[in-house]
Chains A and B, each alone.
Chain A
Amino acid sequence: MTDGNDIVKPIIGLEIHVELATETKMFCRCRNNFGDPPNTNVCPVCIGMLGALPVMNALAVELAMRVGMALGCEVPDFTKWDRKSYYYPDLPKGYQISQYDLPLSINGHLEVSLSDGTTKDVRILRAHLEEDAGKNVHDNPAHTGVDLNRAGVPLLEIVSQPDMNSAEEAVAYGQAMQRLVRWLGASHANMQMGHMRFEPNINLHITREDQTFKTPIIEVKNLNSFRSLENAIQFEIERQYEQWRGDNSYTMENFPKQNRGYNDATGQTVFQRGKEEAHDYRYFPDPDLVPVVVDDEWRKRISRSIGELPLARRKRYIDHHEMTFKEADALTMDAATGDLLDAAIADGADARRCVNLLLGRGAALANERQCTIAQTGITAKQLAQLAKMLANKEINATAAARIFDMLVDSDSSAKDLAETEGLLAVTDSNAIETWVEEAIGANAQAVEEIRSGGKKAKKAYGFLMGQVMQKSGGAAQPGRVKELLDAKLGRE
């Protein structure tokens, strides 16, 4: 892709807008909910009606601070609200209430895991709260509709330093942020619902023959999926390099920062007419809102509410419970699943068995139901008992799987279900012997193949085992079955 000895280093910063998971909007009591009919979650305040006044949503501030502190940011003593002015149909007041020079979090960082196993620490410049704008809807050729349901929803804007150097790193950072905000209960971060939006800032440092050229910084507006984030960045890197190759004057010194949009259908970024100049937002402190003064008591309280963070827990699982990276990672996608695991272990269950159950049937059900493993409904107590029964060979693995599937929708204990469903392991030699004899009797060919010891022997053996297990309703203790089967077949 690059000419000769050109060294192209992409410099990428990412702004992420996260919609917070509050019940109500940032400055009024309208419902914060995606997908409702247009203009049904509105009131004089978020419509920007004359005489209406904003009232700060304290939970939103708490959640924002929680995210800030989890990112290692400093939460200053004093933070305030500013008005950011511009005209647009989806911005009913003609200004957005945001934070300008004194945001509620500054100077943090996020550790990001990359696919090659390395990690990258991305510095975070600031995180601030603001209200979201409504939506312009263009589904009617005769007019544009304005839906204000989203106007006023709390938005946390997290701004990174330009520490990333590839689309992959940016996506990994975005995913790490998604995981973190979900972990903290600050946002559902559901991409389809527009809970997270990305705006990467990209330019290139191109070194050719000991000279370094810097292309102009381009901000790509409003990307709402990881795929579009990756594609837009990749496209932009290539586009900037091509443009610079064709015209070496295409540099930061000669061109100001520009905005571009992204076309999902073509996978290309596009120049946005009319957005070339930097907008003067005329920021000033909002006289309708009082500033927020933060003391150490408050900071301590927020800090305590954060608990163990995902990466720390992942490390703990690898170090203390000997999980693989993949296993630990899967179990630390959300806080509740790990909490569930930890509680079961604290209850005396064996970690490995719990992990297998959670990542086996647990993950399968979660996938089916489009929820987290914890959200499938199994409790720590149920899980612990199930794991212990397995350890005591009271049930076999097949039975355990079936019981797990039942436990998620039931309040019963593992023990009760095993009994009522007849899944307690059958170790009674007499019973097993009967089944073995029946299986042998009914499958002469398989027996022949086993005895002859040829290529089909192994498969036939497995088949016979399966027949016995089937007769037992899955409850027979496999170890015992094997012993008796071998004995009957004359194998030692």
Chain B
Amino acid sequence: MSSIVELSAVELATAIAAGELSATEALEAYLEAIEKLEPQVDAYNEVLADHARATAADIDTARTAGRPLGPLAGVPLAVKDNLCTVYGKTTCSSKILADFRAPYTATAVEKLLDAGAVVIGKTNLDEFAMGSSTENSATKVTHNPWDTSRVPGGSSGGSAACVSARLAAAALGSDTGGSIRQPAAFCGVVGFKPTYGRVSRYGLVAYGSSLDQIGPITVDVSDAALLTNVIAGHDRRDSTSADRPAENYLAEVEKPVENLRIGIPDEFFTDALDPSIGEAIANAADMYKDAGAQIVDVSLPHSRIDTDAEGNLSSYAVACYYIVAMSEASSNLARYDGVHYGHRTNQDVDGIVDLFSLSRAEGFGPEVIRRIMLGTYTLSSGYYDAYYNKALKVRRLIKNDFDRAFEKCDVLLCPTSPTTAFEIGEKSDDPLTMYLADIYTISVNLAGLPGISIPARLDAGGMPVGMQLIGPAFSESIILRAARTYEKISGVTRLVPNMARN
């Protein structure tokens, strides 16, 4: 296997710009890796080899002609298949969009392309981003490169597995309740969800509109900074995109945060947490302390996790998240009605309602149907106040908790997930158990805050353990710098699973 795929995106971009490596060579190295490992990983819904080759050739021509290159020129990237692209299909890993070709490209992807990136393909996800393991995909099951009997996490499992197995230099994912961070933790890579509104959502297939955000999945923190540089910024096509200019996160990433105060939320460390993960976080806190940071106890009361007598977990934050996300999702997925695009039933129909019902029943998977039904219920007359409206109020309380915590610290440190990657099929029978896996990530989406998951270390079984840093709104720079600090003081970065080693 080529050593090219061991390079980070920053290194690739530098080498290509310097003429040490051509975009075509870089691409071919990844296509070769895909040919070898993709049968085991199954990260891609679609590999766009021809298109990628043409793009790489254009970059090479531009470089030799002395034309200016963008910051990602020639870097092969993967894009989660819920981001619209005019190249290839955009399926959201759903049967209802199995043959759909978007007439436009998502803003974030356009920005990558403008920066010279080469899109290798579209990656697998839980259908419509609804899931935490990528097992809800109607296309295929993606395998964790560290142990192929295990899930890569979700919903951006394809993107995370891809980067982890070095089948792309970096990837874009989307995060509604942890869908970038959790798979990054499971696959031993970096997953960054910027502040809500930092990156345009135009072209991202909506799941939970007030929660969704696009972000990078990379092999290290510097790459995350580079990609965030490119995709962040105001977009007038997205009314919820923040009207603030993007910063140069890469330029700052090496500078440690002076007098870094790290908050550890009490409520997150309960019996529900796998002890080895708790230990990894504690260990990380110690390392930060040795490096001069101050560790502070903070409280996020409405994000606490309770266990009842039977051992059932519950959490305000999880309940709030699922009501908000499912309500919005039930509305966002109403457009898939078999009329204008996407799957339409071939069965005989008796009236328009039949056309709608059959097309949707045939096109949607069980988890999607479950969430649409729950979301419809929580918005319906007589229940709206008790569920949706109440959830909005709880959401405000959750956000207030974070605001108060950030008066005492610069970033929060906590686990990304209560467990490491579980086995394929282990949790897919009980949706509620699956929902509770999001416990550490969902509050961040509810509060609209930025959060990053980086590898803390490998556990005794050799599986990656992720840790999360969360910051106040628009504190991307602080988070990235604090994360980079951990890479330096721990030496944990650029983890490579065995299957991807030479």
Contact = CB atoms under 8 A, between A and B. Distances in A.
A93, A289, A290: residue with the most chain B Cβ atoms closer than 10 Å: A93
Nearest to B211: A287
Contact of A51 (B202, B334, B376): B202
Contacts of B160: none
Contacts of A83: 331
Contacts of B384: 282-284
A287 B209 contact: yes
A390 to B, nearest CB: 56
Which range contains the number of B residues in contact with the other chain? 35 or more
A50 B204 CA distance: 8
A202 B341 CA distance: 40
Contacts of A94: 331, 334-335, 337
A51 B204 contact: yes
Tell me what chain A mostly uses at the interface: helix, strand, loop, or mixed. loop
Contacts of B339: 89, 92, 146
Contacts of A87: 334, 337, 352-353, 356
A85 B376 CA distance: 10
A282, A283, A288: residue with the most chain B Cβ atoms closer than 10 Å: A282
A35 to B, nearest CB: 22
A95 B334 contact: yes
A329 B84 CA distance: 56
Interface stretch (B140-148, B217-225, B232-240, B413-421): B232-240
A312 to B, nearest CB: 38
B379 A56 contact: no
Interface string A62-92: 0000000000000000000001010111001
Interface in A7-57: 44, 47-56
B340 A50 contact: no
A277 to B, nearest CB: 11
A52, A53, A89: residue with the most chain B Cβ atoms closer than 10 Å: A53
Contacts of B205: 50-51
A55 B239 contact: yes
Nearest to B83: A51
A280 interface: yes
B195 interface: no
Contacts of A283: 384
Contacts of A55: 236-239
Given A280-B381, A282-B380, A284-B327, A48 B335 contact: yes
Contacts of A50: 84, 90, 92, 97, 100, 102, 205-206, 335
A262 B100 CA distance: 40
B74 interface: no
A66 to B, nearest CB: 23
Contacts, number: 100
Given A49-B103, A53-B201, A288 B209 contact: yes
B482 to A, nearest CB: 30
A85 B327 contact: no
A53 B210 CA distance: 12
B71 interface: no
Interface in A93-151: 93-95, 146, 148
A51 B239 contact: no
A53 B328 contact: no
B237 A282 contact: no
B152 interface: no
A47 B339 CA distance: 11
B206 A51 contact: yes
A53 B240 CA distance: 9
Interface string B32-72: 00000000000000000000000000000000000000000
Contacts of B353: 87
Contacts of A48: 335, 340
Interface string B71-85: 000000000000110
Interface of A: 44, 47-56, 83, 85, 87-89, 92-95, 146, 148, 280, 282-284, 287-290
16 contacts: A44-B104, A47-B340, A47-B341, A49-B335, A49-B340, A50-B92, A51-B203, A52-B202, A85-B334, A85-B379, A87-B334, A87-B337, A94-B337, A282-B379, A283-B384, A287-B209
Interface of B: 83-84, 90, 92, 97, 100, 102-104, 106, 201-206, 208-210, 236-240, 327-328, 331, 334-335, 337, 339-341, 352-353, 356, 376, 379-381, 384, 388
Query: 8 smallest A-B Cβ distances: which pairs?
Result: A94-B334, A287-B209, A287-B210, A282-B379, A51-B203, A280-B381, A50-B205, A51-B84
Given A49-B341, A56-B239, A94-B331, 14 more contacts: A47-B340, A48-B340, A49-B340, A53-B237, A55-B236, A85-B334, A87-B334, A87-B356, A89-B352, A282-B331, A282-B380, A282-B384, A284-B327, A290-B240
